Structures are given as structure tokens and as C-alpha cells.
Amino acid sequence: MAEETDCLFCKIAEGQVPSTKVYEDDTVYAFKDINPMSEVHVLVIPKKHYPNAAAVAAADPQLLAHIVETAQKIADDQCDGAYHLLFNTGAAAGQTVFHCHAHVLGGRPDPAKLAGALA
Ligand code: 5GP
Ligand code: ZN
């Protein structure tokens, strides 16, 4: 389903790069962030490659809604439904992987890492 050959998160969605799966269905994949900023730090990605959340919104609004719905479900399971939902967009704002991903951040934060991520 994913199509960018050189994209890390396409490879993760296809299982070519290992990850700790949290949730999966036909259109989205969720996995633990390798460098958590918070007790709960899960990334939710569309299986199809889009560079950022706005591109998903423009091409397939239902898919963006499904990403948000998936984030809520994960937070309901892992941190009583309370969470931050973060889409870094653009290198200057800290985006390092240019495949849309929602950070689901809940539970006890790591203040230093969280501050660094937003700096
Ligand atoms: P960004 O900075 O683009 O918003 O977020 C990218 C996120 O992907 C970072 O929080 C980073 O820790 C995470 N990440 C980068 N490479 C990997 C990887 O190979 N596996 C996992 N599970 N997370 C990764
Ligand atoms: Zn991709």
C-alpha cells in the first residue's frame, strides 16, 4: 500500500523495518516511538504515503479523521483518554520524517525531551 521506496515510515508500515506495533487496520498503523518524550508516546501513520497532515486532509479527510480516532482509542487504552496530539510539519518545526505521523503523548512527560521537541 505504501509507495515511497526511501521512506522510513513506509518501510515500518510494510514491516520491512521492525517496530513495536500498538494498532493496525487496513489504512493506519500505530507503533511506539523509539525515543519516547512521554510515558505513552505512540506514532499513528497512514499506510499510504503523505508528507504531512495537511496533505492527508487535502487528499483524504476521512483518513485524517481516522488517524485522530485511532489516537483517541490508543489514549483510551493507555492513558485514560487524556493526551496531546502533535503533528510536526516542516523541518523548521522539528519534522524529521516526511511521512505524516501523529504523536500521541500521554501519561508522565519527560520535560527535557518534550521541551527540546518544541524548541
Ligand atoms: P518528527 O520529529 O518527524 O515529528 O518525529 C519523528 C519521530 O519518529 C521521532 O519522535 C523519532 O523518535 C521517531 N523515530 C525515528 N526513527 C524511528 C524508528 O526507526 N522507529 C521508531 N519506532 N520511531 C522512530
Ligand atoms: Zn512514507
CATH number, residue 86: 3.30.428.10
Q: Does residue 77 lie in a domain region?
A: yes
Give the pLDDT confidence of 29-45 residue by residue, as tens digits. Answer: 999 999 999 999 999 99
Q: Which of 41, 99, 101, 103 is catalytic?
A: 101
pLDDT band at 1 (very low <50, low <70, confident <90, very high): low
Task: Name the pLDDT band for 113 (thresholds 50, 70, 90).
Answer: confident
Cα 48 to Cα 26, 51, 63, 85: the distances in Å are 10, 10, 10, 20
Indicate whether 3 belongs to any domain: no
Q: Does residue 29 have its Cβ closer than 6 Å to ligand 1?
A: no
Q: Which atom of ligand 1 is nearest to the CA of 37?
A: 10
Structure-block grid coordinates of residue 95: 519534522
Q: Is residue 33 part of a domain?
A: yes
31 lines ligand 1 (CB under 6 A): yes
The fraction of the chain above a pLDDT of 90, given in percent, is 87
How many domains is the chain built from?
1
Q: Is residue 1 part of a domain?
A: no
pLDDT at 3: 61
Mean pLDDT of 86-113: 95
Instruction: Kindly state whether residue 91 falls inside one of the protein's structural domains.
Output: yes
